[in-house]
Every structure is written in structure tokens, then in C-alpha cells.
Chain A
Amino acid sequence: MSMPAPSRLLFHAVVAAAFALMLAPVVMVMVISVFRQEIVSFPPPGLTLDWYVNAWDRQEFARGFVSSLQVALMATLIGVPTGTAAAYAIARGWLPGKGAVNTLLLSPLAVPGVVAGTALYMFYLRAEFWIDADITATLHGLVAAHVLLTIPWTVRLVSASLAQLDRSAEEAAANLGARPFTVFRRVTLPMMRPGIVAACLFSFIQSFENLELSLLLVGPGRTTLPVAMLSYLEFRIDPTLAAVATVQILLVGGLMLLTDRFVKLSRVV
């Protein structure tokens, strides 16, 4: 890129400002989580890890963490194989109207989470009446909702990796005597692996940190971590929340970096 010096300076300044703006809250949360005083003030009166201990001692966070983990794992386990199969069928043109199918599969991402969550809540209430069983406030109800996140993300990531896949490698395998299923198992699937791994990690993240979709669907005693954090916020503000958030940020950030090694997220998201 060649720009005259003043405009290059301006460009870098704007980029730096944008990064600072985005990262400031994250950094603040992490910093506050180790402040000793309950009311945030500068300069800090001292540093401590007590808030982390406090967070772990509070049942709702520990349990929320476990159920978020459960929900995210199950939603990933269901969404990734389904989404992968769909992406493969779309890429190979097996589905009539594949453009429409693709749009349909990606559409949950276009609906605001709160709207989708409310709609699901109302649908679940109706469905409970029909099948005479609990859906709201149950684990499977929550997992079903989160599958609406994991399928679209998987379709997106796996489609991206399928688009780059060299079809002639599959032809070469057939040419060497491999039957269609063997071609899929020995060549196509291994070549799709980076996309699938990325889909697993990213689906997990999306489910794990989701608040809006879960808000109305959780029940007493079965709350996800983001919902637990929100409820805590309604009663008090102290660095305990910052400690929980820091743990969440580190986990999600780590998984993101890992995902990026398999599929460049900047190309897909």
C-alpha cells in the first residue's frame, strides 16, 4: 500500500483507536477482577484474587459454568455432524434449490437472539401443551435452541472449507480404484477436517457465551453461565462478576485462537 505520509499516519491512528475502543472494556474487566476494593476506584487500593475464590464459592456461577459446558457440548455434538452433512450436500449439488436451503440454514444468524429466544419460548409453551411434557427450563429444550446456533455456524465454516477443496484429488482417488464411499472416507473427509474442527470450536464458543437465546428458556437451578451473570448483576455490582467474565474471556479467546489455526476466521465471519 502506498499512501502519502500524513494520510498513512491518520490511517494507523484510526486503526489504533478502533482497537483501543474494542479492547478497552475487555481489559478493564480483567483489571477490575483483581482490584481489592468493592467499589471500583483509581488508583486501586491493592490487588487480590479473592473475587475468583468468591465466584467459585457462589453456587450459581459454578453450576452455570457446568451447565453452559453441558449445553455447548451437546449442541456442538448435534449441530456439527448435521451442519457438515448439509454443507456437503449443498456443495455437491444434491439438493434441489440449494441456494434456498443454504439461506434457510444460515437464517437463524440473521434473527436477533432475543427475538428468536422469545419465539422459541412461546413455541415451547405451545408444544408442551401438545406433547404433555416439559420443554422450557429443561436441558434438552436449551440444547435444541442452541442447535440453532451450531448448525448455521457449521454450515458456514464447512462450506468455506469445501469451496477450497480440490475436487481433482477425489477424481484421482476414483481413478486409482476407490469406490465413491472410499473416496469420501479416505480423501474428502480428511480434507474437510480443518473446517470441521473449526466448526466444533466455533459452535462451542457460540453456544457457551450465548445469553439472548437462553434468557427465557433456562429454569431455576438450571441456569447457564451468561444468564447467571446477568441475574447477579441485577442485585449487586462487585468485581466477582469481573472475575467470572475474565475466566469466560480467556476460555473463549483461547478457543478462538485455536479455531483460527484451522480456518482463517477473517475469511468466514
Chain B
Amino acid sequence: MGNLVLEALCKRYGSSTAVERVDLEVKQGEMVALLGPSGCGKTTTLRMVAGFIPPSEGRILIGGQDVTRRPAHARDTGMVFQSYALFPHMTVGQNVAFGLEMRKVGRAERDGRVMEALRLVRLDHLADRLPRQLSGGQQQRVALARALVVNPAVFLLDEPLSNLDAKLRGEVRMEIRALQQRLGLTTLIVTHDQEEALTMADRLVVMERGRVRQVGTAEELYENPTDPFVAGFVGRCNLIEGRLEAPGGFRAASGALLHCDVEAAEARPDAALLALRPERIGLQPDAEGGGRVAAVTYLGAQTEYLVEQDGTSLLIIRPTPTLADPLRRLAVGDAVTLSWEAAAARLLPAAT
């Protein structure tokens, strides 16, 4: 076990750049998720760590040792592939034993550790089956056991849940997280699914077009995005273009004046975007109000409202009001007043 450090890691294909100067540390026993839309360079980053792709620039350190030039077989990473990549001609037991064989672990110890790893994923009763005789979820767990049995220094997962159905995905997600915490594995997981990343990882790395946009815990990214892409990608967000009008006012491009925190405005005088989470906006029916309801979508526990105010459209999400609440009778065309705490409005620089 050890920590994983990426230093200014780059990968270029001809004139196009897949990964651009990624700096990152995954601490001993920590689980970090690479999150971002398809094609943003997550898999490329992970495969550089595993040693399948040589970086164009930068360094990779595992447990303090520079492994940038080491071949994949000498890196001591344990990878779980998106397609599982089980050996089709070997039984489940032989699949799991493979890494131990390569490490010249003796027969008796090997058998013991294989069974132990299979017990960990609750598949010890299927050791003699071939991979094709297993369900997708079971194959996935064999792939986990095969990677874990060798106690890799770094555990790598590439979209491990993408081939499972929705119900199984939730279960396996918790199972992987529990295993990772129990064994104290230094883990890098790749996903494009933000719910997956938010629920599993200690920290998230949001990537876009090969660059790291922001690194932080789920809460930090959600409450305190420093980048317009992150604000829009993690959770839903109203992003309004405009500029600051001192003090504590933000003039939207459409002309609406929206209030924001005075101190925050002083800290970022160049703000070009106002980010406002839909559930942080309060809503009151008010005949004198400046907002007009443009749409109401009932979603059971929550209701979504689209409100037009001075040419700006805002999404608002509220817990569905009780039947007695006048808000419950709100209909398209009604006038409303909107309210939010000044601190809830985050100021961001222009998108790049």
C-alpha cells in the first residue's frame, strides 16, 4: 500500500490532447473519483497509471517511487476493467489465482488466499465455474476478487458499474466502497455518473476536456464550486451571465438585478456568472411579485418550477408543498416573488 501521485501528467495524440497537466494525490487508503463527461480523459489517465499508455509528459509515483517508465507488469496496481476482462478459458478460482501465481506464491497459500478473496465477494461456492456461466454482477465480483487478492499498492476501477442494471449498481457500489474502506485500499475510480462518484469517493476530481477543473469532497464541489463547468456538472444549477454592480448586486445580461454577498463580490470583482442552486431559492405567491411561473412539474417528493423574472429564467426545486399550502395551487402564469440568502448566490469567473 502507498499513496499515488500524478505530477503534470499529459497525454497527446498527434495535435490533440487527451490529458492536460493533471496534478493529483490519492492518499494512503483514500478513494478518489475521476468524474467528467465522456471523452474528458478519465480512462486515459487511469490507463497511464496502470502502465498501458505511456504519458507524453509528467510523472507517476506510487508509494514515493517513480514508476513512470515501468512496464505494466511491474507496477503493482490492481485494475478492474469496464468489461471485467476475465480469462474466459480459466475457472473463477484460476482467474483469481493468476496474480498470485505470477508472484510465485506457493500452492497451499495460494489456495487459501483465493478462497478468502472469493469469500470476500461471496462467490466461494462458484470457484469451479467458468466466467461465461456467471451473471454480469457475479463476473464483476470475480474481477474485484482477482484484483484484490494480490494486495495491490493502488486499486484502479474503470467505470466498474456501467455494465450492471440499475438495482445491482446500487448494491455493488456499496459493496465496493465497504471493501475499499475495510481493506484500506488506495483507490482511483473512473466514472461519468456523478451519483456514483458522490456516494463512493472521499474526494472527487472533476475533469473536462483533459483538464482538472476542481478537486474536493462532494460537499465542497456542490456548495463551493470555483468553476462554471463544475457548478453545472455536479448537481443542477442556475448559471446566469452578467456582471457585478456594487454593492451586493449582480446585473444579469437580461437586465434583472440579482442580489449576492457583498464580501464575495469584493473577493471576485471580475465575476461573470452567478450560480444559484435551484433548491436554495424560496418562492411565494405574490400578486405584486416580479416573477411569472412558466412551468410547474410535479415529481412526487419534489416539485420543479420554472420562473421568468425580468427576462431571466430560473429553475426552482422545492419539497412538494402540503395540500393546505397556497403554494400547492400555484399555476402557470401566476405572479411570484423569489428570495434567497445572499451567501447562496456564488460568483464565478467566465467559462473557459
Residues on A with beta carbons closer than 8 Å to the beta carbon of B81: 168, 171-172
In the complex, A187 has a CB within 8 A of chain B:
yes
Give the contact stretch, choosing among B84-92, B189-197, B327-335: B84-92
Instruction: Kindly identify, within residues 118 to 160 of chain A, every residue whose CB is under 8 Å from any CB belonging to chain B.
Output: none
Chain B, 54-100, CB within 8 A of any chain A CB: 71-79, 81-83, 85-89, 98-99
Hey, which chain A residues are within 8 Å of B50, CB to CB?
Answer: 171, 175
Q: Report whether A176 and B150 are in contact in the complex, using a CB–CB cutoff of 8 Å.
A: yes
Describe A's contact surface by its main secondary structure.
helix
Q: How far is the CA of A173 from the CA of B76 in the complex (A)?
A: 12
> Which of A169, A179, A190 makes the CB contact (< 8 A) with B73?
A179
CB-CB under 8 A from B298, the residues of chain A are none
Given contacts A166-B83, A168-B81, A168-B83, contact A175 B72 (CB under 8 A): yes
User: What are 25 A-to-B residue pairs whose CB atoms are below 8 Å?
Assistant: A166-B85, A168-B81, A168-B83, A169-B86, A169-B88, A171-B50, A172-B79, A172-B85, A172-B86, A172-B87, A174-B73, A175-B77, A175-B78, A175-B147, A176-B73, A176-B78, A176-B98, A177-B73, A177-B74, A177-B150, A179-B73, A180-B73, A186-B87, A190-B87, A190-B89
Chain A contacts with B in 188-233, Cβ cutoff 8 A: 190-191, 193
Chain A residues touching B, range: 10 to 19
Residues B73 and A171 in contact, CB atoms below 8 Å apart: no
Indicate if A182 sits at the interface (CB-CB under 8 A).
yes
Q: Is A178 an interface residue when CB atoms closer than 8 A count as contact?
A: yes
Q: Is B103 an interface residue (CB 8 A)?
A: yes
Residue ID in chain A nearest B82 by CB atoms: A168
CA A173 to CA B79, docked complex, whole Å: 10
Residues of A contacting B102 in the complex (Cβ-Cβ under 8 angstroms): 176-178, 182
Least CB distance, B53 to chain A, in whole angstroms: 10
Residues of A within 8 A of B89 (CB): 190-191, 193
Which residues of chain A have C-beta atoms less than 8 A from B71's C-beta? 174
- Does residue B146 face the partner (Cβ distance < 8 Å to A)? yes
B97 to chain A, nearest CB (A): 10
Nearest-CB distance from B76 to chain A (Å)? Answer: 8
Least CB distance, B143 to chain A, in whole angstroms: 8
Minimum CB–CB distance for B326 against chain A, Å = 56
Task: Output the nearest chain A residue to B96 by Cβ-Cβ distance.
Answer: A176
Residues of B within 8 A of A193 (CB): 89
The interface of chain A, by Cβ under 8 A from chain B, is 166, 168-169, 171-180, 182, 186-187, 190-191, 193
Flag if B88 contacts A171 (CB, 8 Å): no
Q: A171-B72, A182-B102 are in contact. Are A176 and B146 (CB under 8 A)?
A: yes
**Cα(A176)–Cα(B76), bound, Å:** 8
In the bound complex, how far is the Cα of B79 from the Cα of A260, in angstroms?
A: 35
Contact A171 B150 (CB under 8 A): no
| A257 CB to nearest B CB, Å | 23
Instruction: State the CA gap A163–B310 with chains docked (Å).
Output: 60
Extra inter-chain contacts (4) besides given A178-B98, A187-B87, CB under 8 Å: A174-B72, A175-B51, A175-B72, A178-B102
Mask, B98-136, CB within 8 Å of A = 1, is 110011000000000000000000000000000000000
Cross-chain contact B85 with A176 (CB below 8 angstroms): no
Q: Taking each of A168, A177, A190, which has the highest tally of chain B beta carbons within 10 Å of its own beta carbon? A: A177
List of A residues within 8 angstroms of B88 by Cβ? 169, 191
Q: How far is the CA of A243 from the CA of B54 in the complex (A)?
A: 64
Query: Among the listed B51, B73, B85, which residue makes an inter-chain contact with A178, where contact means beta carbons less than 8 Å apart?
Result: B73
A151 CB to nearest chain B CB (Å): 26
- 7 tightest A-B CB contacts, nearest first: A177-B102, A176-B99, A168-B85, A172-B85, A174-B72, A190-B89, A175-B79
- CB neighbours (8 Å) of A166 from chain B are 83, 85
How far, in whole Å, are A193 and B73 apart by their CA atoms in the complex? Answer: 24
Chain B 122-181 interface residues, beta-carbon cutoff 8 Å to A: 146-147, 150
Greatest chain A CB density within 10 A among B51, B74, B85, B147 is at B85
In the complex, A180→B71 CA distance in Å? 10
**Chain A, Cβ-Cβ closest to B97:** A176
A172 / chain B contacts, CB cutoff of 8 Å: 79, 81, 85-87, 146
Residue of B nearest to A171 (CB): B52
A139 to B120, CA, bound (A): 61
Shortest Cβ distance from A170 into B: residue:
B85
Residues on B with beta carbons closer than 8 Å to the beta carbon of A177: 73-74, 76, 99, 102-103, 150
Q: What residues of B have a CB within 8 angstroms of the CB of A179 in the complex?
A: 73
CB closest residue in chain B, given A190: B89
B98 and A169 within 8 A (CB): no
Q: Which residue of chain A has its CB nearest to the CB of B131? A: A169
Bound Cα distance from A180 to B73, whole angstroms: 8
Chain A hits for B75, CB < 8 A: 175
- CB-CB < 8 A to A180: which residues of B? 73
Bound complex: CA A37 to CA B292 (Å): 101
Cβ of A173 and Cβ of B78 under 8 Å apart?
A: no
Using Cβ atoms and an 8 Å threshold, which residues of chain A touch B83? 166, 168
CA gap between A175 and B150 in the complex, in Å? 11
Q: Are B99 and A169 in contact (CB under 8 A)?
A: no
Question: Which residues of chain B have C-beta atoms less than 8 A from A187's C-beta?
Answer: 87
